[in-house]
Amino acid sequence: GEGVPASQRSSWTQFVKAIASFSGDLSSLTAPPFILSPISLTEFPAYWGEHPQLFAAIVDGKTEEDRALRVLKWFISTLKGQYTTRNDTMGSEKKPLNPVLGEEFLGHWPDVNGRGRQTLVVEQVSHHPPITAYYLENASKGISLQGHNAQKTSFSSGSIIVKQIGHALLTINLPSGKKEKYLITLPRLRIDGLWYGSPYVELSEMSYIASSTGFLSTIEYKGKGYFSGKYHSFKAQVFSPSSSRAAHTIEGQWTTTSKDTHGVVFTDVTGPKETISTPPLAEMGEWESRKLWEKVAKGIRESDFDTASREKSKIENEQRQRRKDELAAGTPWKLKYFEHVDKDQDYAELAGLIDSTSVPTEEDGYIYRKPESPNA
């Protein structure tokens, strides 16, 4: 494995073998130091927000069809950030820090050229299983994204297969007072390159964007050797409510560019993205992710893995004690920003637009939302 430091080769081989014979919560497996990331999974929802211009521009769509295309354009444009950032900044996919219950990640993207300020609230709403809830909003434009995320992992022919449990619901409050909703389902991941010690994400199968207007976008993901022979390829189709023939077809790579059937560029993510603004570490609260993991992250960044693992154990022990105390006192942990809901009515309605055989059915018990959000 060329990605593996010589001194960690045998522990990497052991780790990959452990993954292969294991199915469930990968966060519980001890990984060799070189693959550890100093960043917690609670930071990942920020990837949804890294194209604030495209998010804000959704509401400028003049027709239902135009808005369906703009939602698709924004969604495709976030994929590069979601699935290749660790490779770009750290050399390969890495094992993120496993968030604790109540961990938060808060930040914003400033208002530039009147596009409006965009804000993000993330909370770890469950530890077993790990579930992260998030709420992205551009209040001045009347647009928001409410979502929750969990994963089920398995192993198949050398790759980790990750099924994402969860979905996102995008809501637009139109100037007319009308509300439009878009259910966004999430693609399946395959983590390849494991044996070489340089893991990366490839997307597979389908994901969907189903709108309350009746528009449906289907996105098919392919790796090397399919539509174009290129990695990270996709083909998207937009269906209007009135016809079973696709009104638009877009093909390309979610890491670079895509075009419609006339050869017109649809998405282009070759330029810079806008990362989230967060307060200085010194001003963060104790539950904010970067504050909470500060010492562990420092240890990982400075290759001081003894400190990293000692500080990580401290956090885990403190969490265990906290759970025991809560149990003894009969006062369970209270979520701060999100609440658990038994059923997501919008999900139930909009999922009907999608081919019923491919609708994820494992959402039960995983749904959380921000009470004062427009979908509540």
Quick one: 31 or 284, whose CB is closer to ligand 0T9? Answer: 31
Quick one: 42 or 212, whose CB is closer to ligand 0T9? Answer: 42
Quick one: 83 or 254, whose CB is closer to ligand 0T9? Answer: 83
CB of 160 to ligand 0T9, least distance (A): 6
Quick one: 46 or 61, whose CB is closer to ligand 0T9? Answer: 46
CB of 198 to ligand 0T9, least distance (A): 9
CB of 244 to ligand 0T9, least distance (A): 31
Quick one: 104 or 212, whose CB is closer to ligand 0T9? Answer: 104
CB of 49 to ligand 0T9, least distance (A): 11
CB of 189 to ligand 0T9, least distance (A): 6
CB of 164 to ligand 0T9, least distance (A): 5
CB of 194 to ligand 0T9, least distance (A): 7
Quick one: 87 or 119, whose CB is closer to ligand 0T9? Answer: 87
Quick one: 151 or 207, whose CB is closer to ligand 0T9? Answer: 151
| Bridge-based pairing state of the strands 118-126 and 131-138 | antiparallel
The site for ligand 0T9 (CB under 6 A) is made up of: 26, 31, 35, 44, 47, 82-83, 93-96, 149, 151, 160, 162, 164, 189, 191, 199, 201
